Chain A
Amino acid sequence: DVVLTQTPPTLSATIGQSVSISCRSSQSLLHSNGNTYLHWLLQRPGQSPQLLIYLVSRLESGVPNRFSGSGSGTDFTLKISGVEAEDLGVYYCVQGTHALWTFGGGTKLELK
């Protein structure tokens, strides 16, 4: 099974600071059709997860462009360019390349 490892598990940031979250896969997430099904979610406290980024780097409709995703193969990064208060919560990477979805362990973004 594919294992996604997120680092760091916790991230403390001030408002306006830029931060990055890493997601490493135990297998390549490049599908035979040429797509890489690695996505990023944000779960705010008490809420359902929300899709931020899909297919590595594509911004979901309505998501602010301070969020960006990059990477390929097994290494991926989510960057927030200027954290805002509404960005606090737990971020998850998730893969769908290998039939079964797999979630990373999550990264909790807190205010410093």
Chain B
Amino acid sequence: EVQLQQSGAELGKPGTSVKLSCKVSGYNIRNTYMHWVNQRPGKGLEWIGRIDPANGNTIYAEKFKSKATLTADTSSNTAYMQLSQLKSDDTAIYFCAMSLTYWGQGVMVTVSS
């Protein structure tokens, strides 16, 4: 059974960074893209970007190019997303997803001083 397990909720201060993880079991992430999606409170889904863990190639939505950095560790079958220069507007639930079929449970990131 394929499962995506995300790290726990984060509370970050404005201007700082957080790094989220998404550990995959039941499937080798080398064989797929790993996507990240956010959802601001009460809002819809927004695609952030994706990484090809086999070679590290990334594509980002324009608005996240200077906000998010996607990496992956194939030895631990884990994808990561670092969010930098946090602002209150970054407060959201962040999901990792493998294709559209498998999703992590989501992690709440709250930015507050």
- State the A residues within 8 Å of B (CB): 1, 39, 41, 43, 48-51, 54, 60, 90, 92, 94, 96, 99-106
Given the known interface contacts A48-B95, A99-B59, A100-B59, the answer about A39 and B100 at a Cβ–Cβ threshold of 8 Å is yes
Are A48 and B105 touching (Cβ within 8 A)? yes
Given the known interface contacts A48-B95, A49-B103, the answer about A43 and B45 at a Cβ–Cβ threshold of 8 Å is yes
> 4 tightest A-B contacts by CB?
A48-B103, A101-B47, A106-B44, A103-B45
Are A105 and B44 touching (Cβ within 8 A)? yes
Q: Which residues of A contact B47 (CB under 8 A)?
A: 100-103
Among residues of A, the one whose C-beta sits closest to the C-beta of B95 is: A48
Among residues of B, the one whose C-beta sits closest to the C-beta of A61 is: B101
Given the known interface contacts A48-B95, A94-B100, the answer about A101 and B35 at a Cβ–Cβ threshold of 8 Å is yes
Q: Which residues of B contact A50 (CB under 8 A)?
A: 103
Q: How far is the CB of A43 from chain B (nearest CB, A)?
A: 7
Most B C-beta atoms less than 10 A away, residue of A43, A94, A96, A101? A101
